[in-house]
Structure 1
Amino acid sequence: MKKHIYIYSPSSAVRDKASFKRGVKRLQALGHEVEIDEAALATHQRFAGDDATRLAAIHRAAASGADVALVSRGGYGLSRILPGIHYKAVAKSIDKGTQFVGLSDFTAFQMALLAKTGAVTWAGPALGEDFGTEATPDDIMEACFDDLISGQGEGTGWQLPKPPKPAAPTGPQPAINSIAGSAHDSGATGQFSIKNAMLWGGNLAMLSSLVGTPYLPAVKGGILFLEDVGEHPYRVERMLTQLLHAGVLAQQKAVIFGQFSNYKLAPHDKGFKLAGVVAWLQNQIKARVLTGLPFGHVATKVLLPVGYKTTLAVEGRDAFLLWGHQH
C-alpha cells in the first residue's frame, strides 16, 4: 500500500548521510513516496539547522498532507523550541490523517503536543537508526510500521522476563540480574488487566526534563512507558526519583520499562543494577511495574500510540497492550 512519507529533522544534525540515504531507498523500495524536507540535512552547531529552521521543518511536515511524518533521527534540540511550535496546526494535520512518528528527543515534542492539544502521536522508528541500518532492518519494526500505515495495528504483545531465582542468603542484599533477564514480581506473573487507560511516555531523560513545565501532560490513571540509552542505573533512578517526587508516578496505574541500553556498570556499583532500581520503584508506588517492552534504542521496537486509551493485559508471562483500530 503506497503511502506518502515526509522526512524531516527537528533535532540533531544528520551526520551519517549514508544511513539517511539507505533509509530513504528502503522506504521507496517498500513502495512508498518519500518526500524529503528542504532542511533535512541542514546543520548548525550540533543541530539540524538553527531553531527557526527546525521549527519551520516541523510546520512544513504538518502542512505536507503526508500519511506519515517521520523524523530522520533523535539527539537533542526539540526542548529549546517547544514554545515556538504551532500545536494547533500540528493537531489539525493529525486530524486530517498525518501520523507523526519518532523516539528519543522526539518525546519532548510528543509530550508537549499531548499537553497542549491531546493529539495522538506514535513512538516508533527513526529513518536513519531503523530503516537506514547497514544490516537488514528489523522484521518486527518493519511489520509494526506497516501495520501503522495500513491502519491494521490493534496492539502489541511481549513476553515478560522470568523472575529472578532466589539468591542464597550470603549477604544482606544479594545482587540482582540485569533488567534484560529479570522482572520484579509486581503481579507480572499472574493475570490482570487495566482497561481504558492513556498510554504515554517515551524517553525517560526527556520526560524528567519536562517536570515543572507546561509541556508535561498531567496524565492520571495512565500507563507510562519508559526507555533510555547510555544512562547508568543510578542516573535512571535519579530521573525516576524526580518523577516520583513530582507526584507523576503515583498517579499512574502502570509503569512499563522498555529497553535501557548501552550503559556500563562500574566496580563502585557493588551489585547496584538496573533490576534493583525496578524493584526499588515498585516499593515506592502502588502501580504495576513491568519490564521487557520491546521499545527503545534497539533494533526490535514496536510502535505505540502516545496519548491513546489502551488496555494492558497480563496472563502469566504474556503481556499485551491493546488499542484497537486507529482509523
Structure 2
Amino acid sequence: MSKRFEIRLIAPSGYAEDRAACQRGIERLQAAGHTVLGTHVVDRVSLRFAGSDAERAADINQLANPDLPLPDVVMAIHGGYGAISLLAHLDYEGLSARFVESSCVLVGHGDFTVIQCALYARCRIGSLFGPMLVQDFGAGYLRENTWRHFWQTLQSPRTDISWLCPDGQQDLHTEGTLWGGNLSALCSLIGTPYLPVIEDGILYVEETGEQAYRVERMLYELSLSGVLATQRAIILGGLGGQRVSEYDNGYDIEHALDRFAAACGIPVVRGLAFGHGQDKWTLPFGARAVLDVADGTAELLVSGYPYKA
C-alpha cells in the first residue's frame, strides 16, 4: 500500500464503547499515511446510539453538499443497531448527484448493511462490505489478511477471492450482481423501498449471535418474500455465536443451514470469511461477479465497483 487517502469517519449506528480501540484504529490509519477526518463522531453518545438521528443522518448527508469536497473513503466506525432510523432522512437526490461521477468509496459491515442497501436501491451507489474502525482497524491484534485485502480492493477495479469449501460442496459456475450483508439487517428491509430488487444476483449473507433457529427463520424469510427467486446463488459467511440448548436435541447451525440449503432451490456456497469475525475479505456491493466452485475450491472474481485508482 503506497497511496495515501483522506478517510472520513461516520457513526450511523451504535456508539463506540471501546475508546482505546477507536484510538488504535485512528493511529494505525494515520501511521499508514492517511488523513482521518470526522474523529469527533467516536465521542458521541445518545442512549445506545452514536448521536441523535439528526446527527447520524447528517454524517451521511454532508456528502451531498456540493460545497464540501468528497473524501476518498467514508468508513463506518461501528455497527450494532440504529442505521434503519436514518433511511427516511437521507438526501438521496443530493447523494446521487455527488456520487454519479465520484470515486468516493463507502465501507462498513453489520448494521451498515441497511445504509448500503438504501443507497443502492435509491441511487445505485455501490460500496464495500468490509472492515470498520473499532473492531477491525482498532483491534488489539490487526489481522494482516483483513488489512491487505481491504487496501487491495480499494485501489483496484477488480478483486479475486478464493477459499476452501466444506466437504460436499457441489461444483458451480454462475455470474451476476454481487450484493448482500448482515442477515437480520437485510430481513429488516423486506417490504420497504430500501431493499434493492436485484435480478440474477449473487447474494452474500452473514450473522453473529443469533440462535440457529433464528438464522434458519430469517433465511426462510428471504425465500418466502421472493428475494431469493431472482438470485443465482447464496454465499454464506460467518454465522457464529449460537448456543445449543437441551430442547434443541442436537439441532445446531449446521442442521439449520443444511435444512435451508435443501429447501431453498438455489446453490448455497459456504466457507467464506466476511462480515463479523476477526479475519474478513472485503466484498463489493452492487458489482459484477463470476462465481466458480470446483473440486472443493470456490473462486469469486469481482469488477465494476467504486475504487481509488
TM-score by length of 2: 0.92
Which residue number corresponds to residue 297 of structure 2? 318
Which residue number corresponds to residue 195 of structure 2? 216
Secondary structure in 2 matching 1:323? strand
The partner residue of 2:28 within 26, 29, 49 is: 26
The answer (yes or no) to whether the contact 2:204–2:235 under 8 Å persists in 1 is: yes
- CA displacement, residues 146-182 of structure 1 (integer Å, 9 cap, x when unaligned): 113322642211111223xxxxxxxxxxxxxxxxxxx
Deviation of 1:51 (Å) = 0.5
The answer (yes or no) to whether the contact 2:201–2:232 under 8 Å persists in 1 is: yes
The amino acid of 2:167's aligned partner reads K
The CA distance in 2 between the partners of 1:91 and 1:130, in whole Å, is 29
Deviation of 1:246 (Å) = 0.6
The answer (yes or no) to whether the contact 2:288–2:304 under 8 Å persists in 1 is: no
The CA distance in 1 between the partners of 2:125 and 2:188, in whole Å, is 21
The amino acid of 2:160's aligned partner reads G
- The answer to whether the aligner puts 1:115 opposite 2:117 as a matched pair is no
The amino acid of 1:148's aligned partner reads T
Which residue number corresponds to residue 181 of structure 2? 202
Which residue number corresponds to residue 146 of structure 2? 141
The partner residue of 2:277 within 294, 298, 302 is: 298
The CA distance in 2 between the partners of 1:258 and 1:90, in whole Å, is 30
Which residue number corresponds to residue 50 of structure 2? 48
Secondary structure in 2 matching 1:255? strand
Secondary structure in 1 matching 2:242? coil
- The answer to whether the aligner puts 1:85 opposite 2:64 as a matched pair is no
The answer (yes or no) to whether the contact 2:9–2:41 under 8 Å persists in 1 is: no
In structure 2, the gaps of 5 or more residues are none
Deviation of 1:315 (Å) = 1.8
The amino acid of 1:285's aligned partner reads C
The answer (yes or no) to whether the contact 1:13–1:46 under 8 Å persists in 2 is: yes
- The answer to whether the aligner puts 1:225 opposite 2:165 as a matched pair is no
The answer (yes or no) to whether the contact 2:19–2:42 under 8 Å persists in 1 is: no
The CA distance in 2 between the partners of 1:78 and 1:193, in whole Å, is 35
Identify which range, 283-292 or 299-308, moves more after superposition.
283-292
Deviation of 1:286 (Å) = 2.5
The answer (yes or no) to whether the contact 1:144–1:153 under 8 Å persists in 2 is: no
Which residue number corresponds to residue 73 of structure 1? 78
The answer (yes or no) to whether the contact 1:6–1:61 under 8 Å persists in 2 is: no
Deviation of 1:316 (Å) = 1.3
Question: Which structure has the larger Rg?
Answer: 1
Which residue number corresponds to residue 231 of structure 2? 252
The CA distance in 2 between the partners of 1:58 and 1:324, in whole Å, is 25
Which residue number corresponds to residue 181 of structure 1? none
Which residue number corresponds to residue 163 of structure 2? 158
The CA distance in 2 between the partners of 1:241 and 1:141, in whole Å, is 31
Deviation of 1:64 (Å) = 4.8
The amino acid of 1:259's aligned partner reads G
What percentage of aligned pairs have identical amino acids?
Answer: 35
Secondary structure in 2 matching 1:74? coil
The answer (yes or no) to whether the contact 1:224–1:254 under 8 Å persists in 2 is: yes
Aligned residues: CA RMSD: 1.6
The amino acid of 1:21's aligned partner reads Q
Which residue number corresponds to residue 172 of structure 1? none
The CA distance in 1 between the partners of 2:14 and 2:200, in whole Å, is 33
The answer (yes or no) to whether the contact 2:287–2:303 under 8 Å persists in 1 is: no
The answer (yes or no) to whether the contact 1:260–1:296 under 8 Å persists in 2 is: no
The CA distance in 1 between the partners of 2:270 and 2:153, in whole Å, is 24
The answer (yes or no) to whether the contact 1:6–1:64 under 8 Å persists in 2 is: no
Alignment CA distance shift 1:40-1:89 (3 Å)? farther
- CA displacement, residues 179-198 of structure 1 (integer Å, 9 cap, x when unaligned): xxxxxx4x2xx3x3112x01
The CA distance in 2 between the partners of 1:296 and 1:305, in whole Å, is 12
